[in-house]
């Protein structure tokens, strides 16, 4: 959600004439995230988020936009895309593919407790169940093939110890067979900063699930592992037992884990840690120019991977 491509207000005001959402009142860049250029847009009729896609091709984008529309129709708190006067979700702005979505209410909770993890586990299961009826299919853009290719690119920038850890993990992941695992549309990036919370009756309530632009078709368990690695990890990198138990129990209550998923859990936690170590290492060592760019520390997920590779329990019951 960094800003790589600035948008002048007069240019946006003219562009918005193709939409039935009123006139531009305010435009504000969003500095969080690392993939696209994002802005808060306020008009005379509402509040929206504008995204300019920096890397994704125009051919890839309908998958994400229609997935968001599909999940929103199923009652999930997902930002529905806004169609222009030609009934198209995708437009062009500043020579980039661009889209508007509804801006949801709430704020991120960066220090989640057991109650937050329970809610996010149930929500993730609901997302997976609703995604089963989504007709489009596009592979996880940060799946196994991407991880192998990116490992080769970032390896020269790592220390000797980092290279050894990476080499060992790449070899291990090549032995993991995910074909027996239930698959479908996954979010693939359900970190704490991609969930918005409101308070309702003194209890946390999910107001929005955002940033679907890493979504794809993959093992559902990989999505659970990505989420657990972020939501349930303590400052020392170890998994917090209570938060982990709450998240996976709430998920299991909505979509029961299979025996194959239980057996694959340690490997999926490692694959999820590898994915974010590699993406952060690539962003850190091979940065892109931008106006407001956030680069996250790759060492955090290097250390998480080392701990997960050292051994984790199977899925808690």
Q: Please give the model's pTM, rounded to 2 decimal places.
A: 0.94
Percent of the chain with pLDDT over 70: 96
CB 211 within 8 A of CB 189: yes
Cα torsion angle, 188, 190, 191, 196, sign: positive
State the residue for tokens 């984008």: 61
> What average pLDDT does range 4-19 have in this prediction?
96
End-to-end CA distance of the chain: 36
Confidence tier at 291 by pLDDT (50, 70, 90): low
Domain segments of the chain: what residues?
9-102, 114-310
Which tens digits make up the pLDDT trace of 80-114? 999 999 999 999 999 999 999 999 999 999 999 99
Whether the CB-CB separation of 58 and 26 falls below 8 Å is answered with no
Which CATH code of 3.90.79.10, 1.20.1260.10, 3.30.200.20, 3.40.50.10490 fits the domain covering 9-102? 3.30.200.20
**Residue 31: its pLDDT value, please?**
79
Going by C-beta distance under 8 Å and a sequence separation of 6 or more, which residues neighbour residue 310?
none
Mean pLDDT of the region 240-257 = 97
Handedness of CA 208, 214, 220, 224 (dihedral sign): negative
Distances (CA, A) of 228 to 44, 129, 157, 221, 292: 40, 18, 28, 10, 29
Residue 128, both tokens? 């997976």
| Rounded average pLDDT over 121-126 | 98
What's the pLDDT tens digit per position in 18-38? 999 999 999 999 976 568 999
d(CA 118, CA 247): 5
Mean of the per-residue pLDDT values of the chain: 94
Tell me: the pLDDT tens digits for 61-70? 999 999 999 9
Per the listing, tokens 């329970």 go with 118
In this prediction, residue 263 carries a pLDDT of: 94
pLDDT tops 60 at residue 1: no
**DSSP at 107:** B
Alpha-helix runs per DSSP H in the chain: 9-15, 61-73, 114-131, 144-154, 160-173, 220-231, 241-254, 259-285, 299-310
Q: Please, what's the b/e burial string for 28-41 (b: 16 or more CB within 10 A of its CB; e: otherwise)? A: ebbeebbbbbbbeb
Cα torsion 161, 167, 168, 169 to 10°: value is 110
| pLDDT (mean) for 174-203 | 94
Residue 10 DSSP SS3: helix
C-alpha to C-alpha distance for 142 and 103, rounded to whole angstroms: 26
CATH 3.40.50.1000 for domain 114-310, yes or no, is no
- Return d(Cα 219, Cα 157) in angstroms, integer: 30
Whole-number Å distance between alpha carbons of 313 and 317: 11
């Amino acid at each position: 959600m960094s800003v790589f491509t600035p948008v002048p207000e007069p240019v946006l005001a003219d562009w918005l004439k193709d939409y039935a959402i009123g006139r531009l009142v305010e435009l504000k860049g969003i500095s969080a995230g690392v993939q696209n250029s994002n802005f808060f847009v306020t008009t005379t009729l509402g509040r929206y988020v504008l995204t300019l896609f920096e890397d994704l091709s125009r051919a890839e984008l309908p998958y994400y936009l229609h997935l968001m529309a599909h999940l929103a129709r199923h009652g999930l708190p997902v930002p529905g895309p806004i169609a222009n006067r030609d009934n198209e979700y995708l437009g062009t702005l500043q020579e980039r593919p661009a889209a508007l979505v509804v801006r949801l209410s709430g704020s991120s909770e960066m220090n989640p407790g057991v109650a937050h993890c329970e809610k996010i586990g149930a929500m993730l299961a609901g997302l997976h169940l609703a995604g089963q009826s989504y007709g489009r299919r596009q592979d996880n853009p940060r799946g196994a093939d991407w991880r192998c290719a990116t490992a080769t690119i970032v390896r020269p920038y790592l220390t000797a110890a980092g290279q050894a850890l990476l080499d060992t993990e790449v070899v291990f992941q090549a032995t993991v067979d995910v074909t027996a695992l239930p698959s479908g549309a996954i979010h693939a990036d359900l970190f704490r900063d991609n969930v918005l919370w409101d308070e309702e009756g003194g209890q946390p309530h999910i107001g929005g699930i955002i940033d679907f632009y890493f979504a794809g078709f993959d093992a559902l368990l990989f999505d659970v592992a990505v989420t657990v690695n972020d939501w349930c990890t303590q400052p020392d990198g170890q998994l917090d037992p209570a938060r982990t138990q709450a998240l996976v129990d709430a998920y299991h209550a909505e979509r029961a884990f299979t025996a194959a998923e239980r057996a694959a859990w340690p490997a999926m936690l490692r694959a999820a840690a590898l994915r974010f170590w590699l993406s952060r290492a690539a962003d850190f060592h091979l940065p892109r120019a931008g106006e407001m760019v956030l680069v996250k520390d790759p060492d955090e997920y290097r250390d998480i991977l080392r701990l997960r590779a050292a051994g984790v329990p199977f899925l808690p019951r």
